[in-house]
Amino acid sequence: MHMPFGSRQTNRDGNDLAFTDPLTGLGNHRRFFDRVERLIRDRADDPAPFAIGILDLDGFKPINDLFGYQAGDEILTQIAMRLRASMDSQSSVCRIGADEFAVLCPMVFSEEAAIEKVRTLIEILSAPYDVGDRTARLSASAGCSLFYSQDETTEILLNKAETALYHAKRSGRGQVVVYTREMEEAARRLTHIEQALRRAVSAGEVEPHFQPIVDLTTRRIIGFETLARWTDPDIGRVSPAVFIPIAEERGIIGPLSQLVLRKAVEAAKAWPADLFLSFNLSPSQLVDNNTGKDILAMLERTGFDPRRLEIEITETGLMSDPTSAARIIDDLHRHGIRIALDDFGTGQSSLGRLREFPFSKLKIDRSFVSSMLDDMPSQHIIRAILAMCEGLGIEVVAEGIEEEEQAACLLQFGCLAGQGYLFGKAADAATTLVIVREAMRTVLLPAAN
């Protein structure tokens, strides 16, 4: 992200175009690099600590999409003004990326002081922005690093701050993280996994596994949810909780999903036609305009009936860019693909979303199911969800069912479908086909006299 400082310019004027961001008037990445480099030289004889921080705006793309790029530029200008006004006489701020700003704090000597300083800046940025006759709100995440010795170059400090920013973004919105050595080791491991995952996707080595979804009344299998599984020859088995976020963040999720969906569809073609295939879309796929086209092209190539495919999306994915998500969902729905809202009750969407989007199914999150037997609020929430969905004509599936008592209670409440370890763990394609055929054979056997 940060370009190396090339041929040094003799003109140190802050207005020099080569060092200035044309939109905000702040210094650009070259100006920031130059200032940090000079400060390191100034402290060569007495390497007193100083801090740098990188602030990255959370969810700026949806702001651009909602208000337009001209309004987005106006907000960036307002952000620059706020940050500049917040700097003391020693500190400075530059715009180093589309929605990234960097601060240099020569008089901040400790991690605690750096966190306090940058957290104050995030609070300042969180105040509403005027955009014509409307207002917009933003948050920011930040990563910081501290200079302690001459062994640390400007590039090293920036890389450390970027690593800390990466951890801040993974922790949620509005977080401040200071670099630690453990982060560097974790970052190296993530990079190793990323490289292995790219190779595995190219080689077609990520496999779909299938977890049964059953009719709670008859216990008959009615469909399967697709879950990605990956075992690397060197690393070993990698949990999807590890490699899916990496695929999201490093831009691999598109080809990974295409691979897993293709294999899942090919496997499902061997199942009875009344069994559906459920497949999860990630948040980043709901902002990619090619997602719908890619899925429909896949179904056409394989000859799989779109009416047998169910696409699951999460509330978080839906809210990352509702406009783009709506286009993709409508396109898929028009071709007969059913849309399910996954992990309901754990995200940030409003109930109005259930009316705005053509959901045919809602999945009750496992957190409510796991606590329902000894937690009355969870029972009330489940009852409320079921009553609401009945009124809206939306089917409901309960996730994470592990005990017979949970299944019986859900059925008593009116939930007709569920999945979880009680009914089977996810299995590979060959094992799933055996399970399906055995279920068919059991249904076809004549009843004993």
Catalytic residue numbers?
Answer: 399
Rg, Å, the chain Cα set:
26
Give the list of residues 6+ apart from residue 123 with CB closer than 8 angstroms, or none. Answer: none
Question: Taking the CB of residue 352, how many other CB atoms lie within 10 A of it?
Answer: 8
Answer for the pair 180, 143: CB distance below 8 angstroms, yes or no: no
User: How many Å apart are CA 264 and CA 278, to the nearest integer?
Assistant: 9
DSSP 8-state code for residue 4: P
The secondary structure of residue 182, as a DSSP letter, is H
> What is the residue-wise DSSP string for 186-251?
HHHHHHHHHHHHHHHHHTT--EEEEEEEEETTT--EEEEEEEEEEEETTTEEE-HHHHHHHHHHTT
- Which amino acid is residue 88, in one-letter code? D
- Cβ distance 369 to 398 under 8 Å? yes
**Among candidates 30, 325, 303, which has minimal Cα distance to 158?**
30
User: DSSP E strands: which ranges in 47-187?
Assistant: 50-58, 92-95, 100-105, 129-131, 134-136, 139-147, 176-178
Contact 328, 291 (CB under 8 A): yes
Q: Which residues contact 44 (CB under 8 A, 6 or more apart)?
A: 150
